[in-house]
Amino acid sequence: MNGYVTFRPGAAKLHWTPINETADILRSEAPHDGFKIIDTIDLSDGEYIDKFDQSDNRYRYYKIKDFMLHMFQIPNGYAKEIVRRDRWYLKSERHSGGTYGFAFIKKTNAEHCPDCWDEVNEKSTRSNCPTCLGTGYKEPYYKPLKLYVDFRGDQIHRRPMRERVSTESFSQAFWTTNIPLLKPNDIFVFKGVRYRVVSGINLSRMGMYVTKQFVPLEAIESHRPEYKIPLPDEEVDFDVD
C-alpha cells in the first residue's frame, strides 16, 4: 500500500492506491504513540476526509492497518535518498557525534487536569501545576521519542527593561529529519537540559514532501515542573522507509 495525507482548514484528506479490502483508519498527533481507530472503511474508494473542529498548527498522523501515510506527498527517490543520508549522518558517531535527545510531543486534545482546569473559562489556572505542567491536560505528552539532531551553538538574547535592567535568555536550535514534525510547545531534552520548541520552525521540502526541519528552542527554567517529566527506561527510536 502507498498513500499520503494533505491538510486544509478543518479537515485532512487521505489518499491511497485503491484496493478491494476493508480496513481500519487510525489517527494520532504523534507518529509513534496514541493511535486510535476513527473509522472502518472500504479501501476501494482511494480517498477519505477526516473533519475536525479546530484549525490549528497540530499535525495528525494516519495509519491504514499498519501502514502510516506519508505527510503531504508521496516522496520520490531523490527525497527518500536525502532523508536516508541525513539519518545516516545524524546517527554517525564519526561525522556528527551521534547527538540525540528525547522529544516529547504535546497533546492538544486530552482529558483535562483535575487540579487546575477552569471549566467556565476553559483554561488552566496554574502555569506551574505539577499535574498538567500548565498545559491543562492530565497527561499532556505522548511517550518520549529518541531523536537524533545536529545542534547549533548557544545564543544569548538580551532584552532591555524599563528600569535599564536587561534580562538574558538562552536559546538553541537544531536540525533533524522529517519524523516527527515538531510544533511550538513540544519539549526536547538534551544532556539534562529541557527545551521548549518555539515558533519559527523552518521546513525544507522537495515538492510538498518535508525532508528536513530547523527547530528553534528556548531553555526552560530549572524550577519549572517540566523537569519532573520522567525520561524513558526504554529508548524508542522511530524510523520510516
Split at pLDDT 50, 70, 90, the class of 156 is very low
Instruction: Let me know: does 25 contact 63? Beta carbons within 8 Å.
Output: yes
DSSP 227: G
Q: Measure the CA–CA gap between 107 and 89, rounded to whole angstroms.
A: 30
What is the residue type of 219? Answer: A
> What mean pLDDT comes out for the span 127-151?
87
Among 2.60.40, 1.10.1760, 1.10.8, 3.40.1000, name the CATH number for the domain at 3-71.
Answer: 2.60.40
At residue 78, φ and ψ (nearest 5 deg) are: -65, -45
The residue written with cell numbers 522507509 in the block is: 241
Distance, in Å, from the CA atom of 72 to the CA atom of 1, rounded to the nearest integer, reads 16
| Gyration radius of the chain's alpha carbons | 20
Cα angle value 224/229/232 (rounded, 5°):
150
pLDDT greater than 70 at residue 138: yes
Summarised one tens digit per residue, pLDDT across range 20-70 is: 999 999 999 999 999 999 999 999 989 999 987 765 557 899 999 889 999
For the ranges 56-65, 158-167, 215-224, the lowest mean pLDDT is seen at 158-167
Domain ranges in the chain?
Answer: 3-71, 77-106+141-228
- Which stretches of 53-115 are assigned E, i.e. beta strand? 61-64, 67-68, 70-71, 100-104
Please determine whether the domains at 3-71 and 77-106+141-228 fall in the same fold group of CATH.
no
Element (H, E) at 13: strand 11-16
- Class assignment of domain 77-106+141-228? mainly beta
The percentage of residues in the chain with a pLDDT greater than 70, rounded to a whole number, is: 86
Q: What is the mean pLDDT of residues 148-171?
A: 54
- Grid cell for residue 220: 526552560
In whole angstroms, what is the distance from residue 130 CA to residue 2 CA? 43
Whole-prediction pTM: 0.82
Q: Which residue has the higher pLDDT, 96 or 194?
A: 194
Q: How far is the CA of 177 from the CAs of 7, 82, 90, 226, in angstroms? A: 20, 9, 9, 25
